[in-house]
Amino acid sequence: MKFDLKGRIDSINASEIEKEIFDSLPDDEQSPVVLNAENLEFISSAGLRVILHIKQTHPNLKIVGVNSDVYEILDMVGFTEIMTVEKAYRVVSIEGCEEIGRGANGTIYRIDSDNVVKVYNNADALADIQHEREVAKLALILGIPTALSYDVVKVGESYGSVFELLNARSFSKIIANEPEKIDWCVDEYVKMLKKIHSTVVPSGKLPDMKETAVTWAEFMKDYLPDEAGEKLCTLMNNIPHDDHMIHGDYHTKNLELTADEVLLIDMDTLAVGHPVFEFASIYNAFVGFSEYDHEIIKKFQGFDREKGIEFWNKSLSKYFGTNCKAKLKEVEDKARIVGYTRMIRRSIRRGGLETESGKAEIALWKDELLQLLEKTDSLVFNVNELEIEAVKENLSDVQDYVTGYLEQVNCPKKQIMQISVAVEEIFVNISSYAYAPEIGRVIVRIEISQQPLTVSITFIDHGVQYDPLKKADPDVTLSAENRDIGGLGIFMTKQIMDDISYEYVDGKNILTLKKDI
Amino acid sequence: MTINKNLNGSELTLGLEGRLDTTTAPELETVIQNELSDVKELVFDFKNLEYISSAGLRVLLSAQKIMNKNGNMKIINVNDMITEIFEVTGFIDILTVE
């Protein structure tokens, strides 16, 4: 039995409508009852009670063709959980609409100046849409600025998800059209990436990227020499579990600049895992995919390969707060191992081995992968470590690295400044004395523990053994004329930090500074 | 770091902006060594100075030593973080901080 609900149902007409419906309800309480809400504009609590009464006598009740406003009311009062409520899908045409983004599962078009629609590749995408809405909601709650879909629509035979995105432009478009803004784009891109990676996701809320990546490695065993295949699986398995968020498809088409903020879109690949997985997909987007066919990136991102490489290098450098080539190469090589694994598998599954160009492309990636596997013992890099040449010229890089890191964990500005002083004193000391007259490297490691917030900074060098704690403190009561300027740096460090410890282990000076915030 | 110089007769005001650290201290040191011969009153305006490290303190100490002979030196508009550095290092007693 089907009933049409029309216009408004409120206290004025509710009892009349209830009577009408109950008069014609079938006697069999188990027979299905459908309320067609296509023309229902508004329903008040009096109207909701009518629906509840029907549900009580005829539990097999379904409401169909519900518009978004009414759906919102039904959802708010919990009706969507106790009965079947089917939304009316608005029909949207994308003919002549600009494509503004593209991800693994769909393409995003602008339908008018305020709204965009993501059209899913999969024709039966309702579950995917539901998944993406849920993860986007989760991300938003966890503090990631993203656009939430407010409507599901039909686009031809496919489903689409509609988002409000006012005057937005993708970062790809900005880079392509205003190349002078690339550094600004890099800054914003990395800021967002760090925000994602510092977000802890409650257990079980998002898929674990490592589990997926291990299946890629297993797949690759059939296509690699035994030893290399084994090594790849071991490396992948040894990546530690990480409950921080990763986006999974973080390229510049998925970052949108609106009038007043930067928004992340295309959230369906959200997962948890070590940042190496993120950098693998970033490397692929900007460099890897176009290693064989250099034109491919232009089709996808709108800018050429050279720009893609520039963007990758700058982003990596910004993220790790260093221009230290060795450190960046370390990260890049590890990301490439994961990245090639993913691309080769993807290509093979899509029939890559059946075409000449596909075969050549796979061979190129495989060759790189095999070379990398030979020289790699771990896919893990530490975001909280900076390895850099101990020279005074690198002081500002070290300061930027430490300061940037502390800002991320919401360390107050004053304490950041103080820690900055201590870091300068120690770094300059190592630069001046540890390796003189040669040049050596130092690792700066930052560790944070929360509640109470404690910052620990460790300097590791393999220069001459030197314990700065043995240096006598200067007499700070002397007059200017009698003050000696030596020893002031380490003295200030001691004053600023709450604890300093030194050890010499395996030919390394290890100095750890701690401060309670 | 930027150094804004303002010479008014024998009074020199040095307005410092940014960070006075290992990298920038030599710049200030050059000014101190070369431009104080006729200065009787030296004023450091730290209104826009965010940061100071021991390298910066050393320059202030040499300026103080010069001005002890030539006249007076004072530092004005010092922020909390820098005041604290002056305190822990005893510089608060050596320098005239307003």
β pairing state of A508-516 and A271-272: unpaired
How many whole angstroms separate alpha carbon A260 and alpha carbon A274?
31
A397, closest residue in chain B (CA to CA): B23
CATH at residue A38: 3.30.750.24
A134 and A282: one domain? no
Best of A392, A398, A399 to disrupt the B interface by mutation (most B CBs within 10 Å)?
Answer: A399
A54 and A190: one domain? no
In a domain, A169, yes or no: no
CB-based contact, B98 to chain A, within 8 Å? no
In a domain, A37, yes or no: yes
Q: Where are the extended beta strands (E) located within A206-254?
A: 245-246
Which single residue is written with the structure tokens 């205003």? A178
A364 and A395: one domain? no
In a domain, A171, yes or no: no
Distances (CA, A) of B11 to A479, B8, B71, B74: 24, 5, 10, 11
Q: For B13-64, what is each residue's pLDDT tens digit?
A: 999 999 999 999 999 999 999 999 999 999 999 999 999 999 999 999 999 9
Look up residue B40 and give its two tokens. 């009787």
- Give the per-residue pLDDT at B77: 97
| Chain A residues whose beta carbon lies within 8 Å of the beta carbon of residue B65 | 480-481
pTM of the predicted structure, to 2 decimals: 0.60
| Contact between B51 and A395 using a beta-carbon 8 Å cutoff | no
* Nearest partner of B4 among B39, B47, B40, B33, judged by Cα: B47
Residue at a domain's end among A135, A164, A193: A164
CATH at residue A106: 3.30.200.20
Using an 8 Å Cβ cutoff, are A289 and A346 in contact?
A: no
Q: B38 vs chain A: nearest CA distance in angstroms?
A: 21
In a domain, A464, yes or no: yes
Distances (CA, A) of A116 to A96, A254, A412: 13, 13, 39
In terms of Cβ atoms closer than 10 Å to its own Cβ (0-12, 13-18, 19+), residue A509 is buried
Query: Domain limits at A313?
Result: 182-374
| Contact between B21 and A476 using a beta-carbon 8 Å cutoff | no
| Chain A residues whose beta carbon lies within 8 Å of the beta carbon of residue B94 | 479-480, 483
Best of B32, B52, B53 to disrupt the A interface by mutation (most A CBs within 10 Å)?
Answer: B53
A290 and A330: one domain? yes
Name the maximum alpha-carbon separation found in chain B. Answer: 35
Low-confidence ranges of chain A (pLDDT < 50): none
Q: Who contacts A191 (Cβ-Cβ below 8 Å, separation ≥6)? A: A262
Q: Who contacts B41 (Cβ-Cβ below 8 Å, separation ≥6)? A: B10, B11, B12, B71, B72, B73
Q: For A372-401, what is each residue's pLDDT tens digit?
A: 999 787 898 887 888 788 999 989 888 888
Instruction: Write a three-state SS string for A325-362.
Output: HHHHHHHHHHHHHHHHHHHHHHHHHCCHHHCHHHHHHH
B64, closest residue in chain A (CA to CA): A480
A205 and A349: one domain? yes
Domains of chain B as residue ranges with CATH: 2-94 (3.30.750.24)
A115 and A247: one domain? no
Q: B78 vs chain A: nearest CA distance in angstroms?
A: 14
- Give the per-residue pLDDT at A326: 62
CATH at residue A416: 3.30.565.10
The total domain count for chain A is 4
- At A28 the three-state DSSP class reads coil
How many whole angstroms separate alpha carbon A368 and alpha carbon A7?
65
Residue at a domain's end among A121, A138, A164: A164
CATH at residue A204: 3.90.1200.10
- Give the per-residue pLDDT at A10: 93
A122 and A230: one domain? no
In a domain, A379, yes or no: no
A42 and A114: one domain? no
How many whole angstroms separate alpha carbon A324 and alpha carbon A316?
11
From A414, A421, A476, residue closest to B80, measured CB to CB: A414
A336 and A218: one domain? yes
| Chain B residues whose beta carbon lies within 8 Å of the beta carbon of residue A488 | 54, 57-58, 89
Neighbouring CB atoms inside 10 A of A273's CB total: 26
A344 and A394: one domain? no
Measured distance between the N- and C-terminal CA atoms of chain A, rounded to whole angstroms: 68
From B61, B84, B90, residue closest to A477, measured CB to CB: B90
In a domain, A175, yes or no: no
Look up residue A390 and give its two tokens. 């101990």
**ipTM of this predicted complex?**
0.91
- Give the per-residue pLDDT at A310: 97
In a domain, A226, yes or no: yes
From B57, B58, B81, residue closest to A417, measured CB to CB: B81
- Give the per-residue pLDDT at A323: 67
Residue at a domain's end among A57, A88, A119: A88
A433 and A358: one domain? no
Distances (CA, A) of A305 to A102, A173, A285, A366: 18, 15, 10, 21
In a domain, A170, yes or no: no
* Nearest partner of A275 among A231, A339, A335, judged by Cα: A335
A367 and A391: one domain? no
